[in-house]
């Protein structure tokens, strides 16, 4: 009798895993970021480190400055120039509020009412940027000159009498007063407020206004409940873009103000270029930067727009 033997089972054929496609160009984004990173390192990080080391140096221009970790320079600078710091914050804050009051209606007009004139008005908003910042500020010396039409009109309306009593103007003149400095700051930084506001308002869906009207909301109520809350990112961005450079500005206070309206930017400029006290100037710069950073952080958290940080 013939016995049939079963053949041994065949080993399973190994299944080759599909090769993953080689990722080409995965380092391209990093190479594209490299020029920007180098730019920030050379023109931002290194100067910051240098100024930080300068602020803790002691010595003189003749003998040279050495790093002695003299942190008392910060306290000396703050105790001596704190009025200029407060004045800078006050002027910048008032100018920012004025820019918001003037810029919001114009941005609203451009976004919802301008129609085919929208591009024309936007060009007019950014047109001052085609002129030098210095020339624009010098033009205000002519506008606010003694005996000019602005001073004459304010005198006729007896506005100068009230503002002089409040310490904003000096008798029958506007130049070399806080009012002139605030006017210059407001004018020069107004486009920085209008453009973010317009961008934020233009993104609002017009159907939301129609829905508010269908729910019997009055125009002011619709603005307060719908438009303004949705435009808060533009408000925060505009106020930051206005307040930060205005608080460190020195051109307006130098050309339109006097020794009684000096801001901290004027003190830093004098310390760097005239007195040549580099440690004090560097310390003032870092104190101003730290103060602005703290105020901006608190403002963003208070406004509920932490995503802008």
What's the pLDDT at 3? 56
Would 167 be classed as within a structural domain? yes
Is it the case that residue 1 has pLDDT exceeding 70? no
Do residues 294 and 242 touch, judged by C-beta distance below 8 A? no
Average pLDDT of span 77-92: 94
Would 254 be classed as within a structural domain? yes
Output the six-digit token pair for 113: 């009412």
Would 78 be classed as within a structural domain? yes
**Which residue's structure tokens are 């870092």?**
286
Is it the case that residue 226 has pLDDT exceeding 50? yes
Number of other CB atoms surrounding residue 191 within 10 Å? 21
Is it the case that residue 138 has pLDDT exceeding 70? yes
Q: Residue 79 maps to which CATH number?
A: 1.10.3720.10
Q: Report the predicted TM-score, pTM, of the whole model to 2 decimal places.
A: 0.85
Domains held by the chain: number: 1
Q: Is the four-CA dihedral 217, 219, 221, 224 of positive or negative sign?
A: positive
Would 31 be classed as within a structural domain? no
What's the pLDDT at 309? 47
Is it the case that residue 27 has pLDDT exceeding 70? yes
Per-residue pLDDT band at 215 (split at 50, 70, 90) = confident
What's the pLDDT at 64? 83
SS3 track for 81-145: HHHHHHHHHHHHHHHHHHHHHHHHHHHHHHHHHCHHHHHHHHHHHHHHHHCCHHHHHHHHHHHCC
Would 35 be classed as within a structural domain? no
Would 36 be classed as within a structural domain? no
Output the six-digit token pair for 146: 């003694």
Spatial separation of the C-alpha atoms in residues 297 and 283, rounded to whole Å: 21
Range of the domain at 142: 71-308
């Amino acid at each position: 009798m013939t016995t049939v033997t079963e053949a041994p089972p065949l080993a399973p054929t190994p299944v080759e895993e599909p090769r993953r496609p080689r990722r080409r160009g995965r380092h391209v984004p990093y190479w594209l970021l490299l020029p920007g990173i180098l730019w920030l390192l050379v023109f931002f990080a290194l100067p910051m480190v240098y100024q930080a080391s300068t602020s803790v140096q002691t010595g003189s221009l003749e003998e040279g400055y050495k790093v002695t970790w003299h942190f008392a320079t910060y306290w000396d600078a703050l105790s001596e120039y704190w009025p200029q710091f407060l004045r800078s914050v006050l002027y910048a804050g008032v100018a920012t509020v004025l820019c918001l009051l003037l810029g919001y209606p114009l941005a609203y007009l451009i976004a919802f009412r301008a129609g085919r004139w929208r591009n024309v008005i936007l060009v007019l908003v950014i047109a001052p940027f085609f002129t030098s910042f210095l020339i624009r500020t010098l033009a205000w010396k002519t506008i606010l000159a003694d005996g000019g039409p602005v001073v004459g009109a304010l005198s006729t309306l007896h506005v100068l009498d009230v503002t002089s009593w409040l310490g904003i103007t000096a008798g029958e003149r506007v130049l070399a007063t806080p009012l002139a400095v605030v006017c210059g700051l407001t004018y020069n930084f107004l486009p920085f407020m209008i453009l973010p506001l317009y961008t934020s308002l233009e993104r609002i869906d017009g159907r939301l206004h129609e829905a508010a009207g269908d729910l019997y909301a009055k125009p002011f109520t619709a603005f307060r409940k719908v438009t303004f809350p949705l435009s808060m990112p533009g408000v925060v961005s505009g106020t930051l873009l206005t307040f930060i450079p205005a608080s460190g500005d020195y051109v307006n206070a130098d050309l339109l103000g006097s020794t009684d309206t000096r801001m901290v930017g004027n003190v830093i400029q004098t310390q760097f270029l005239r007195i040549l006290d580099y440690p004090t100037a560097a310390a003032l710069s870092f104190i101003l930067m730290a103060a602005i950073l703290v105020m901006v952080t608190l403002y963003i958290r208070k406004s509920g727009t932490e995503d802008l940080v």
